[in-house]
Amino acid sequence: MITSMILFPLAGFVINGAWSLWSARNGTRVSPRVSGSIATTAMVAAFMAAIMARAQIPATGSIEVDCFRWFSLGSLSVDFKLRLDALSSIFTLVITGVGAMIHLYSVSYMEEDEAAGKYFAYLNLFCFMMLNLVLGGTLPQVFLGWEGVGLASYLLIGFWYREEANVAAGQKAFIMNRIGDLGFLIAMFIGYKYSGSLDLTTVEKVILPAGVGTSFVLLIFLACTGKSAQLPLFTWLPDAMAGPTPVSALIHAATMVTSGVYLLARLSPVISQSATGMAVIAGIGAATALITAIIACFQRDIKKVLAYSTVSQLGFMFAACGVGAFGAGVFHVMTHAFFKALLFLAAGSVIHGLHGEQDIFKMGGLKKKLPVTFWTFTAGWAAILGLPPFSGFFSKDEILHQALVSNSGSAWLFGVLLIAAVLTAFYMTRLYRLVFFGTPRMDQAKFDHAHESPVPMALPLVLLGVLSLAGGFAGEPVHLAHPESALSTPTWVIMIVSVIAAAIGATIAFRRYSVSEVKAEPTSDVFRIDAVYSKLFGGGLGVIASASQWLEERVVQGMIRMVAAVTDLSGNMIRVLQVGSAQAYLLMMIIALVVMVFYFMKGVV
């Protein structure tokens, strides 16, 4: 079952990819419904395999399947193996289950696209690589999946490549992820040096020296900041909204961006050895949660609001890992997959109903026009606010609780996350209020033609709405760590404080945007982080390019010209001796022989 789990999406990729290539060569069009049905069937089959595989996991332990010998280098041999345990099982269920619903949603969403076959091939490729990442039994195999999802993400973000902005967004995501991936590679080398193996079961048990352990943790975290969009490598994620909306739901809400949390949880025994590394993870996670929540409050694009919200929620997950509550972080991964995928797909339904409109200040009054979208979005809104009994209430409150009471937590960390929670309630209620309530602020013709999405798009919304409501009752899906408590604050106190914080943020937003005529607000980056990066690194790259050009012209080409001149000069000197007479050449040889004999005789004497 474990092997078939990854082979199903691979088969979908091969079939749709080959069909798309054949169609492009013959000038025909791939049927979006047929290609979408193939891709969706592959994901449903993978989901069923994931369910059956989870049932086979021992109460304590894992299942490993050695597929083949991947490569050998001296005494090092690395097998391509799949490892399924409680942690990887949760991620496989999310990837295949949520992925199947997003594939189904895409069948109608991409119905008019001319390259739908290629789109579904890319989606299946992404899911195949993501499954390799979470099922990999060795660090190289995890890295293969890690790079594979980066490639698939690049292809999907820039899918509508005829628009220059989409291509730039894909390139930005690709490059910023490569920066983080360097940390993964170096950490892999360190792990091998001190454990003598690249097998995860061995690396997880290694005890690293203090300084080395901190370096290892920080390098792994550097990789996570790229893939999971944490400070300072988070700016690619909002721009990645250039891709189709289902891509945003799958890659940038439910799966790819949570791979950093998976890596920290997988290596939690080693990560926990460095108090300094843990403090850095918690601090940057909390800072990311707060800063991106502030930025989200000033966005007008419905997908950009949700994108910054994703980054902020990832900050909560990393803060949980930073205080040792890895299980709580993974719990939030699961609930976040439900409600954030729902919110993105509901946003796609709104955009679809308004024929491409994404500005929330040009919406309004859609509650009755899009009833299914409205009620399912309401479930996602309540879940991300953390209102009981919705799923986000359980996982977010557990993170807040651990941030305060654990030995690695603190009052300031709890305070930062609580402020981020208030801001989350504010910007999500702002979006909710401007999209569905009040008077319509778009053209009357566009409002009249607004319509609910077809069944293939509405069904995933309903299913995700149910999961957003009830998913939290499952509790923590895997108990990776139970940090010791420094305080005895009851959980119910944190719950009350969290709900009050959400109510405050939501009330402020409802009162602020309750007037009949809402004035449009300008989009603002607030901290102008992209501009700062452009100034620091964009200008710096220009200087480096100019210096490289100078080195190329003056040094490299100068050396080449010098070698050519020396060769030419030596050739001219030797040419003088080429007189074309055999007698002269014989005389030269005799003279040279006499000189050599004289030299050696002199040395002997």
Lowest pLDDT segment from 13-17, 355-359, 458-462? 355-359
pLDDT for res 601: 75
Asked, as a colleague might, if the bond just before 209 is cis with ω within 30 of 0, I would say no
- Which residue type occupies 535? K
- First CA to last CA distance, the chain: 86
Mean pLDDT of 286-292: 95
Lowest pLDDT segment from 105-114, 265-274, 586-595? 586-595
* 297-339 pLDDT per residue, tens: 999 999 999 999 999 999 999 999 999 999 999 999 999 999 9
Q: Domain extents for the chain?
A: 1-206+219-256, 327-519, 533-604
- Six token digits for residue 96: 């295949």
pLDDT for res 463: 94
The number of residues in the chain equals: 605
pLDDT for res 319: 96
Residue 485 burial (CB < 10 Å; 0-12/13-18/19+)? middle
Spatial distance between the Cα atoms of 365 and 128, rounded to a whole number of angstroms:
40
Whether residue 544 has pLDDT greater than 70: no
Helical H runs in 110-163? 116-135, 139-157
Spatial distance between the Cα atoms of 150 and 438, rounded to a whole number of angstroms:
41
Tell me the chain's radius of gyration from C-alpha atoms.
30
Spatial distance between the Cα atoms of 131 and 43, rounded to a whole number of angstroms:
11
**For the ranges 32-36, 67-71, 287-291, 527-531, the one whose mean pLDDT is highest:** 287-291
Whether residue 415 has pLDDT greater than 90: yes
pLDDT band for position 275 (50/70/90)? Answer: very high
Residue appearing with tokens 């699961």? 334
Whether residue 605 has pLDDT greater than 60: no
- Which residue type occupies 188? M
pLDDT band for position 541 (50/70/90)? Answer: low
Mean pLDDT of 511-540: 71
DSSP element (H, E) containing 105: helix 86-109
**For the ranges 129-143, 232-246, 517-531, the one whose mean pLDDT is highest:** 129-143
pLDDT band for position 564 (50/70/90)? Answer: confident
* 160-196 pLDDT per residue, tens: 888 888 888 888 888 888 888 999 999 999 999 999 8
Q: Are 456 and 107 in contact (CB under 8 A)?
A: yes
Helical H runs in 365-406? 371-385, 391-405
Tell me what the pLDDT averaged over the chain comes to. 88
DSSP element (H, E) containing 416: helix 411-436
Whether residue 482 has pLDDT greater than 70: no
Percent of the chain predicted with pLDDT > 70: 93
Degrees, nearest 5: CA angle 114-119-120: 120
Spatial distance between the Cα atoms of 366 and 378, rounded to a whole number of angstroms:
13
Whether residue 486 has pLDDT greater than 80: no
**pTM beyond 0.75:** yes
